Structure 1
Amino acid sequence: MHLVPEDRAHRRAIDEHTVCEAIAAIGDPETVRGWASRFSMLAEPNRLSVLLAIHRAGPIAVTDLALATGVNEPAVSQILRLLRVSNTVVAEKDGRVVRYRLIDHDTATLLDSLPPLHQAV
């Protein structure tokens, strides 16, 4: 079991080959933490709504995000601050207006995999 870390090498495996495949599939712990962080960003409905609006509507201002998502402007601003700190979105000035754009390719790929969510109008 060449991939089993030394601290677990004393434990018994049922299928050593499968254990090594599973360890290889998990990969680097830092990468796993990064993906867990991305998934936690998507786990809160208001953050997910803001991310979907930014991703699918293009660069968009806070006021327009609040209107589109139904989330109040201070809450949208708080969400955007979190998304900026995590390097998920970037703020770009357009005259006096600041618009937000999704820059994290992996998050964009995850959002692309979601089917369109239709809402009754």
Structure 2
Amino acid sequence: MTAPARPDDRTLALRAASELLRALASPVRMGIVRELSTGGKRVHELVAALGVNQPLVSQHLRVLRTSRIVTTHREAREVEYTLVDDHVAHIVLDAIRHVEE
């Protein structure tokens, strides 16, 4: 009996990219990334910009944090959310531009 084949680096990269796209596969999460592409925001700012309630924004931020797309910085009693890097913003903004053409 042979051992199962180990995935190579390309396969692992495809899986990781798939997980990234899965984490973005929500209009609210894409909206959050779009808003954060201009700089850090607090939850109440995202709620106002997206027009959805705070628990929903918080739930989607949790998904984005778990996927390492956003990070946090605490300032006194408030938490500011920022993108880990600009690559994800480019993906989201390009996708939005593509469907608007």
Asked if Structure 1 and Structure 2 have the same fold, meaning a TM-score greater than 0.5 normalized by the shorter chain, the answer is: yes
Backbone CA RMSD of aligned residues = 2.4
Q: Which has the larger radius of gyration?
A: 1
Q: Which residue of 2 aligns with 1:91?
A: 72
Q: Which residue of 1 aligns with 2:28?
A: 46
Q: Which residue of 2 aligns with 1:101?
A: 82
2 CA distance for matches of 1:84 and 1:110? Answer: 17
Structure 2 length as normaliser, TM-score? 0.77
Structure 1 length as normaliser, TM-score? 0.66
Q: Cα–Cα, structure 1 residues 117 and 54, in superposed 2: closer, same or farther, change >3 Å?
A: farther
User: Residue 54 of structure 1 contacts residue 60 of structure 1 at CA under 8 Å; is this kept in 2?
Assistant: yes
Q: Which has the higher contact order (CA 8 A, sep 6+)?
A: 2
Q: Which runs of no fewer than 5 residues in structure 1 stay unpaired?
A: 1-6, 8-26
Cα distance, 1:60 vs. partner?
0.3
Cα distance, 1:107 vs. partner?
1.2
**Aligned residue-pair number:** 92
Note the 1:3-82 alignment, pairs <5 A: 28-56=10-38, 58-82=39-63
Q: Which runs of no fewer than 5 residues in structure 2 stay unpaired?
A: none
Q: Which residue of 1 aligns with 2:92?
A: 111
User: Residue 41 of structure 1 contacts residue 48 of structure 1 at CA under 8 Å; is this kept in 2?
Assistant: no
2 CA distance for matches of 1:55 and 1:41? Answer: 16
Percent identity reads 30
Can you list the C-alpha shifts for 1:5-51, whole angstroms capped at 9, x where unaligned?
xx9xxxxxxxxxxxxxxxxxxx7111001111121222211111111
2 CA distance for matches of 1:31 and 1:78? Answer: 27
2 CA distance for matches of 1:68 and 1:74? Answer: 15
